[in-house]
Amino acid sequence: MKTIGVLTSGGDAPGMNAAVRAVVRTAISLGMTVKGIRRGYAGLIENDIFDMDSRSVCDIINRGGTVLYTARCPKFRTEEGVLEAVENCKKHGIEGLVVIGGDGSFKGALQLSRHGVPCIGVPGTIDNDIGCTEYTIGFDTAMNTAIEMIDRIRDTAQSHERCSVIEVMGRHAGYIAVQTGIAVGATAIMVPEVPVSMESIIRKIKTAQRNGKKHFIVIVAEGVGGVEDIAKQIMAATDIDSRATVLGHVQRGGNPTLRDRLRATQMGYEAVQLLNQGKGNRVVAYQGSSVVNYDIEDALQMKKCFDERMLKIALETAI
Q: Is 36 in the site for ligand ADP (CB under 6 A)?
A: no
Q: What are phi and psi of 51, to 5 degrees?
A: -75, 140
Contacts within 8 Å (CB) and 24+ apart, 48-52: 49/5, 49/88, 49/92, 49/94, 52/6, 52/24
Question: Shortest distance, CB of residue 111 to ligand ADP, whole angstroms?
Answer: 5
Question: Shortest distance, CB of residue 285 to ligand ADP, whole angstroms?
Answer: 15
How remote is the C-alpha of 155 from its chain's centroid?
A: 28
Task: From the list ligand ADP, ligand F6P, none, pick the one residue 181 interacts with, judged by a Cβ distance below 5 to 8 Å according to partner type.
Answer: none
Question: Shortest distance, CB of residue 304 to ligand F6P, whole angstroms?
Answer: 14
Amino acid (one-letter) located at 291: V
Q: Is 315 in the site for ligand F6P (CB under 6 A)?
A: no
Q: Is 130 in the site for ligand F6P (CB under 6 A)?
A: no
Closest to 4 measured CA to CA, from 290, 284, 279, 267: 279
Strand partners, 37: 49
Query: What SS3 state is found at 292?
Result: strand
Question: Shortest distance, CB of residue 191 to ligand F6P, whole angstroms?
Answer: 13
Nearer to ligand F6P, 117 or 169 (CB): 169
Q: Is 43 in the site for ligand ADP (CB under 6 A)?
A: no
Nearer to ligand ADP, 41 or 216 (CB): 41
Q: How many angstroms separate the CA atoms of 167 and 189, rounded?
A: 10
Question: Shortest distance, CB of residue 165 to ligand F6P, whole angstroms?
Answer: 18
Conformational region of residue 167, where left means phi above 0, alpha means psi within -120 to 50, and beta covers everything else: beta
Contact 307, 178 (CB under 8 A): yes
Which amino acids are annotated catalytic?
Answer: 127
User: How far is CA 14 from each of CA 228, 248, 265, rounded to the nearest angstrom?
Assistant: 28, 15, 12
Amino acid (one-letter) located at 127: D
Task: From the list ligand ADP, ligand F6P, none, pick the one residue 126 interacts with, judged by a Cβ distance below 5 to 8 Å according to partner type.
Answer: ligand F6P
Q: How many angstroms separate the CA atoms of 185 and 166, rounded?
A: 13
Binding segment for ligand F6P among 20-28, 30-38, 124-132, 311-319 (CB under 6 A)?
A: 124-132
Q: Is 260 in the site for ligand F6P (CB under 6 A)?
A: no
Contact pick of 126, 189, 190, 205 for ligand F6P (by CB under 6 A): 126
Contact pick of 14, 15, 36, 108 for ligand ADP (by CB under 6 A): 108
Binding site for ligand ADP (CB under 6 A): 9-11, 41, 72-73, 76-77, 101-105, 107-108, 111, 125
Binding site for ligand F6P (CB under 6 A): 11, 102, 125-127, 169-171, 222, 252
